[in-house]
Amino acid sequence: MVEIIPKPAAKLPNWQNILFYFSFGLLLMTVLTYFILDIYLNKAETTSKNLEETLAREKTAEEIVLEKEVFGYQRKIEGFSKLINQHLFSSKFFEFIEKNSHPQVWFSKLDLNPVKGEAKLTGEAENFTILHQQLQILRANPLVKNLNLVKITIGKEGRVNFELNLDLDPDLFK
């Protein structure tokens, strides 16, 4: 028998609806991603061409002259840096001797060679005890590598005249 009353259409199960919308969304995202990546690819190609043109362009004469000038200054600065690092400061010896002198000892002559780290001192002390104390002060200092009492005489008014040779640590002058 033929049915005259139409029946409602059969509903699809929920999992099929979910799968359909998920697939449609995935297709839409794929198409959008394609166009976005195409735009970024075109921008990257344009940037790459611009960089290649910049690299391919030769340096102008002005740039070459400026570059030579800068490198010349760089060499001068490096040379000056080497010189200043090798420079020895003789003035540091005076600070050293000021800190390591007995109050009753006078130095009258100095012969200083900072390159070799040698100093020859001529001086005068009140007596032998004070001279001995001065020698002990200098021997106790780690910057004094060697100390030689070269000459000793009794001067005017009973004072002791002496001559010292000091071998000093070269770091004292840096």
Torsions phi, psi for 52 (to 5 deg): -65, -40
What residues does 120 pair with on adjacent strands?
111, 165
Q: Provide the edge-to-edge strand list for the sheet that holds 160-168.
A: 105-113, 118-125, 160-168, 144-154
Rounded Cα distance, 131 and 105, in Å? 7
pTM of the model: 0.53
pLDDT in tens, 122-170: 999 999 999 999 999 999 999 899 999 999 999 878 899 999 999 998 8
**Is pLDDT above 70 for 2?**
no
Q: CA triplet 123, 125, 130: central angle to 5 degrees?
A: 130
pLDDT digits (tens, 9 = 90+) for 87-119: 777 888 889 899 999 999 999 999 988 888 899
CATH of 91-173, one of 3.30.1360.100, 3.30.420.340, 3.40.190.10, 3.40.50.720: 3.30.1360.100
pLDDT at res. 51: 87
3-state percent helix, strand, coil for the chain, nearest multiple of 5: 55, 20, 20
Residues 26-60: tens digit of each pLDDT: 999 999 999 999 999 999 999 999 988 887 777 77
**E strand or H helix at 26:** helix 14-56
Side chain identity at residue 106, one-letter code: W
